[in-house]
Amino acid sequence: MTSPYGTEASTDRDRSLIRSGTRQVKERVVGALFAACAGISVLVTGGIIVILLSETLGFFSDVSLLEFFTETRWTPLFREKHFGILPLLTASVQVAAGAAILALPAGLLTAVFLSEYAGPRLRSVLKPVLEVLAGIPTVVYGYFALTFVTPALRAVFPGTEIFNAAAAAIVLGIMVLPTVSSLSEDALRAVPGALREAAYGLGATKAEVTTRVVVPAGLSGVIASFILALSRAFGETMVVTIAAGNSPSLILNPLESIQTMTAYIVQVGLGEASGGTLEYRTLFAVGMTLFTITLAMNWLGLRIRSRIGGGGHARR
Amino acid sequence: MPDARERQRGAGLGAGPKSARRRREDRQIRLLAALATLIGVVALLVLLLDVVADGWRYLTPHFFFNFASRFPERAGIRAPLLGTIWVVGLTGILSFPVSVGAAIYLEEYAPRNWFTTAIRTNIANLAGVPSIVYGILGLALFVRFLGMGRSVLAGALTVSLLTMPMMIMAAQEAIRAVPRDRRLAAFGLGASRWQVVRHQVLPYALPGIVTGAILALSRAVGEAAPLLMIGYLTFIAFAPAGLGDPFTVLPLQIFSWITRGEEFRGLAAAAILVLLLLLLGMNVVAIVLRNRFYKGK
């Protein structure tokens, strides 16, 4: 007994089989296409490392590692050449440390205020202000450092040079403050409400709850925000290029001109150093040093942050 | 948290000297936190006032239409404005499809194994690489090795490298916000993975993806350091006409005027105002898009 629909059903099935065959091919192609897109990110990382590494190795065939890390003078663009990274490295550290003195406490306190004290209405005003601060281009911060902060410093400390580390550090501090406050606030808000309730239940004041319960509980997230902000200040280019000067020196006087690693890279980039020369290769040796240090800091910061499960959790 | 505040007042603070100290400490911490928050607000206000005071009188119509000039009163931002549109437009065209593809792969296709975990970690780390390092990469790879010279294309490719991680992460977040039920329901009806992505995930996530992309591109608009490495010429008095032309962008023009001397500072400030207005515009578009999207759901 054949069903009246028999033939129709079988052609339908055939058709759907053929369709599912092309469908599978299409599925594969589309999936591979998306995978290739994601693979580009690996290529970029690989590209950075291969290019930096190959030119850096070229650099170290002419300059010994010992000289690079122990020599105290950096004069690759002069006739008498010395290749000691220390003056550039200490300058970058000095500026980042100066920024940290301002940004870490102020950022954490801002996070405390936003997470524990400010009401929803005040928060809805303050958050966008900090977001705007975070979105201002670095060249604008450089302008601010040179035309506002430096003159202000010179009014207070008349011996301040036009280009100085302090102005750059202060402005970098303002620049990374939103990084600290927003990441720390995420960490503080992720602290379970029950912990706060318990402390209040024991008769603690708001300040005691904040300083002895909430901040210690969110500490790893706060530390992660510190590390990520420091790494940003350390690798920043425009502010230090515009405001901190171009004179590599080991002297740690914040009112004097210095040259950070990033500012040196710009100095060579603006000149016409031709490929293959030692000057051109210094670019990569310095870039590699900068890349390695910031990568280590970011990796550490992100690791701590992901271990605590990031932000965005409701408070209760 | 008004309930907590009430509770705090009702907490076991008596009238003794110790309680008075604790009460004082409580007020001090609150004041300290409020003052610290003011630092950011005041810094932003001072910065904006500084720029407006220096630059507003240069904002005339011919500032927008003139090319750079040796004479401050005749100089304008025509070349950097058009250069910015070229570079950022091309960056968007280059980085948007790839970023969305990568995000779809990571959220919808990728199996959870060590390799895809490595890609994820890698993208997050790439977003933190100092932009000047991308400049070195662009100089060595695009300008020198691939022989593109100091061109619009080399600039856009370099900027794409640093916008992509931000775009990918924003797109991932938007895709992750798509409810699981939608996917499961579609799978249950026999839809293939691509059909689910195309008909369920993408339509739902698209406003979020576009918002994230605009914000990532607004970072590209303000980026100076990498372009300083690959495209900086001190004086450009023409607009690019093709991908192989030299160019300048607003942040580079600002840098050029800042370093040129006192009489050009006002021009730098005026160009900063234009740059900030441009960024404001992009952010407003992104926020409107986001709000409309969330209202719809």
Between the ranges A246-250, A261-265, B125-129, B143-147, where is the mean pLDDT highest? A261-265
What tokens were used for A65?
Answer: 């590692």
Query: From the CA atom positions of chain A, what is the Rg in Å?
Result: 27
Enter the CATH code of domain A86-307. Answer: 1.10.3720.10
pLDDT digits (tens, 9 = 90+) for B82-133: 999 999 999 999 999 999 999 999 999 988 888 888 888 889 888 899 999 9
Residue A251 or residue B121, greater confidence: B121
Tell me which chain B residue has its CA closest to the CA of residue A119: B1
Give the pLDDT score at B295. 55
Looking at the complex, does the CB of residue B54 fall below 8 Å from at least one CB of chain A?
yes
Asked if B101 lies within 8 A of A132 by C-beta distance, the reply is no
- Long-range Cβ contact pairs of B70-75 (< 8 A, separation 24 or more): B72/B263, B72/B264, B72/B266, B72/B267, B75/B264, B75/B267
pLDDT digits (tens, 9 = 90+) for A168-226: 999 999 999 999 999 999 999 999 999 999 999 998 999 999 999 999 999 999 999 99
Tell me which chain B residue has its CA closest to the CA of residue A104: B36
Give the pLDDT score at B241. 81
What tokens were used for A107?
Answer: 């950022």
Residue A283 to residue A272: CA distance in whole angstroms: 12
CATH homologous superfamily of domain B63-296? MetI-like (1.10.3720.10)
Of A38, A138, A294, the CB nearest to B102: A38
Grade residue A79 by pLDDT with cuts at 50, 70 and 90.
confident
Q: What percent of chain A has pLDDT over 70?
A: 90
Mutate to test the interface with A, among B3, B113, B129, B262 (most CBs of A within 10 A): B129
Grade residue A1 by pLDDT with cuts at 50, 70 and 90.
very low
Give the pLDDT score at B88. 95
pLDDT digits (tens, 9 = 90+) for B227-283: 999 877 766 777 788 888 888 899 999 999 998 888 889 999 999 999 999 999 999
Residue B294 in this model has a pLDDT that exceeds 80? no
Q: What percent of chain B has pLDDT over 70?
A: 93
Average of per-residue pLDDT across B21-40: 92
Grade residue A247 by pLDDT with cuts at 50, 70 and 90.
confident
Do A51 and A284 form a contact (C-beta atoms < 8 A)? yes
Give the pLDDT score at B260. 86
Average model confidence (pLDDT) for chain A?
Answer: 87
Question: Which of chain A's residues have a Cβ under 8 Å away from the Cβ of B177?
Answer: none
Closest residue by Cα to residue A285 from A62, A52, A96, A88: A52
Question: Which of chain A's residues have a Cβ under 8 Å away from the Cβ of B25?
Answer: 205, 207-208
Residue A97 or residue A280, greater confidence: A97
Residue B289 in this model has a pLDDT that exceeds 90? no
What is the pTM assigned to this prediction? 0.88
Mutate to test the interface with B, among A23, A30, A34, A266 (most CBs of B within 10 A): A34
Average of per-residue pLDDT across A116-122: 92
Q: What is the dihedral of CA B46, B51, B56, B62, to 10 degrees?
A: -160
Average of per-residue pLDDT across A292-300: 94
Closest residue by Cα to residue A313 from A219, A226, A218: A218
Give the pLDDT score at B102. 94
Residue B38 in this model has a pLDDT that exceeds 50? yes
Residue B7 or residue B51, greater confidence: B51
Q: What is the ipTM of this complex?
A: 0.89
Give the pLDDT score at B247. 87
The count of CB pairs under 8 A between chains A and B is: 279
For residues B133-161, one letter each, b for 16 or more C-beta atoms within 10 angstroms of the residue's C-beta and e for the rest, the string is: bbbbbbbbbbbbeeebebbbbbbbbbbbb
Residue A280 or residue B12, greater confidence: A280
Tell me the residues of chain B between 14 and 33 that have a Cβ less than 8 Å away from chain A: 22-23, 25-26, 28-30, 32-33
What tokens were used for A165?
Answer: 């580390």
Average of per-residue pLDDT across B60-88: 83
Give the pLDDT score at A19. 64
Residue B297 to residue B295: CA distance in whole angstroms: 6
The SS3 call for residue A85 is coil
pLDDT digits (tens, 9 = 90+) for A297-310: 999 999 888 876 54
DSSP B235: -
Grade residue A2 by pLDDT with cuts at 50, 70 and 90.
very low
Domain ranges (residues) in chain B: 13-58, 63-296
Asked if A113 lies within 8 A of B34 by C-beta distance, the reply is yes
Give the pLDDT score at A222. 95
Do A139 and B219 form a contact (C-beta atoms < 8 A)? no
Least confident range from A234-238, A277-281, A307-311, B247-251: namely A307-311
pLDDT digits (tens, 9 = 90+) for A27-72: 889 989 999 998 888 888 888 889 889 989 989 998 898 989 988 8
